[in-house]
Amino acid sequence: MNFKGKAAILGLVVLLALATGALAQSQPLAWDGTQWKEFNQAIKVAYVKGVLNMASFETAMGGAGRAACVSRAFTEELKTKTLGQVIAEVDKFYKENPGKMKTPVIEVLMQRCTKLCPPEPPAKEKK
């Protein structure tokens, strides 16, 4: 076997090993405030655009006559905001809630930037 063939097989072995390790995780990795605060503006824009692209695709694939889905409502809600406004809302949430850095970014998007999943009201103090 020539060098290219050996390199290709080695590459496949490494790829399979990495994929197996990723599949073995008990929970899929959801980006949260811990990662969000480290992202630069370009990565934040890419994340929000990725979520919007997924939602737009799902909406388009749903077609007429299908029940309303979260993606359709999500894309409609965010038509009234710029990417900068959406990112500012997420930044603001993590800045105002340092104890909630483990809250997934997608949850913050849904609660802070749409009316679909309004945030829970603050707990009332017992007297």
Domain-embedded: residue 23: no
Compute the distance between CA of residue 89 and CA of residue 14 in angstroms, rounded to an integer: 40
Please give the pLDDT value at position 78: 79
Please give the pLDDT value at position 117: 61
Please give the pLDDT value at position 18: 45
Render pLDDT for 11-56 as a digit per residue (tens, 0 to 9): 544 444 444 444 444 555 778 888 899 999 999 999 888 888 887 7
Q: Which domain holds residue 74?
A: 33-112
Domain-embedded: residue 101: yes
Please give the pLDDT value at position 101: 92
The tally of domains found in the chain comes to 1
Please give the pLDDT value at position 28: 57
Domain-embedded: residue 123: no
Domain-embedded: residue 55: yes
Render pLDDT for 51-104 as a digit per residue (tens, 0 to 9): 888 877 777 766 665 545 677 777 777 788 888 998 999 999 999 999 999 988
Domain-embedded: residue 1: no
Please give the pLDDT value at position 32: 87
Domain-embedded: residue 121: no
Domain-embedded: residue 66: yes
